[in-house]
Amino acid sequence: MRRCVLLQVLFMLMLISAASVSAENVKGEENVFAVQEKMFHNYHELALLTGYIASDDFYHVLPVGVAYNFHFDDRISWDARLYANFNMEKDILKDLLNDFGAAPVAYYEPKFQLLTHVVIRPFYGKDAILNKSVINHETYFLAGGGIDFYTTNYSDGITAGKDEAALIISMGAGIKYFINQKVNLAIELRDYVTYRGDEVVNSMWFGVNVGFSFNLGARPSYSDETLNILNGYLKDK
């Protein structure tokens, strides 16, 4: 019985609270949201790229490269990237030969990638670090494609490797932290699909990029007519 009474009291309190909130909205009080313009926007950006691809069957792949980004506005960008891969052979080939006396007839070693993406940057915010400093960041999504240059190696030890190229489809997401007006640090996770003849290879990429942004000319400044009138009035006084 007591439990039923307690539940009824809690239900009545919830109704009173909801009615109070509704009454505040009826009075015309608006919810206030603090939306801030992006502080660290430049039109051009050069970036140094590093990463790791763990999903390759026969190599630990460590890409290193450069990128150029053009930011059309605060939301949409375009980038072009060039990577060179530093590869460390995994033990799987030796294990197949030593344990089973067999190895694949041919296997692929990635060499270079040339990629381009459309970048959408819808989310922007800031975090407090130990309540002592603030760092701004944005989250972005990218999609595009390019060309994968690779070498087809043969396990017979006789046939020479053959350099080839294949189409890549690339997509992913990242978060970029703005160290200051010019320098940023980005963390990316991407998935790209390579079409090597009849074979489709899916690779996961984890990358850390350091970017340097700049303008070739002054960025157009924000102007509000009302503020300009008030500013002129104050100057006259």
Task: Say yes or no to pLDDT of 237 above 70.
Answer: no
pLDDT at 18: 52
Closest CA to 203 of 154, 138, 150: 150
Confidence of residue 56 (pLDDT cuts 50, 70, 90): confident
Structure tokens at 114: 């040339």
Distances 74 to 21, 36, 37, 46, 50 between C-alpha atoms, Å = 35, 12, 9, 17, 25
Q: Where are the domains of the chain?
A: 44-214
Q: What is the pLDDT of residues 180-210, one digit of tens each?
A: 989 999 999 999 899 987 788 888 999 999 9
Which numeric CATH code is attached to 44-214? 2.40.160.20
Q: How many angstroms separate the CA atoms of 34 and 79, rounded?
A: 31
DSSP tag of 154: E
Confidence of residue 168 (pLDDT cuts 50, 70, 90): very high
The answer for residues whose C-beta is within 8 angstroms of residue 139's C-beta and 6 or more apart is 121, 122, 123, 124, 173, 174, 175, 176
Confidence of residue 120 (pLDDT cuts 50, 70, 90): very high
Q: What is the pLDDT of residues 131-161, one digit of tens each?
A: 888 899 999 999 999 999 999 888 777 777 8
Q: How many angstroms separate the CA atoms of 199 and 21, rounded?
A: 60
- Ramachandran quadrant class, 197 (left: phi over 0; alpha: psi -120 to 50; beta: rest): left
Q: What is the pLDDT of residues 222-231, one digit of tens each?
A: 556 666 666 6
Q: How many angstroms separate the CA atoms of 172 and 38, rounded?
A: 22
Instruction: Name which of 58-67, 82-91, 146-155, 216-225 the model is least confident about.
Output: 216-225
Instruction: Name which of 23-37, 95-109, 113-127 the model is least confident about.
Output: 23-37
Q: How many Cα atoms within 13 Å fall on the side-chain side of residue 91?
A: 3
Q: How many angstroms separate the CA atoms of 62 and 230, rounded?
A: 57
Q: Please, are residues 81 and 119 in contact by the beta-carbon 8 Å criterion?
A: no
Structure tokens at 12: 């009545």
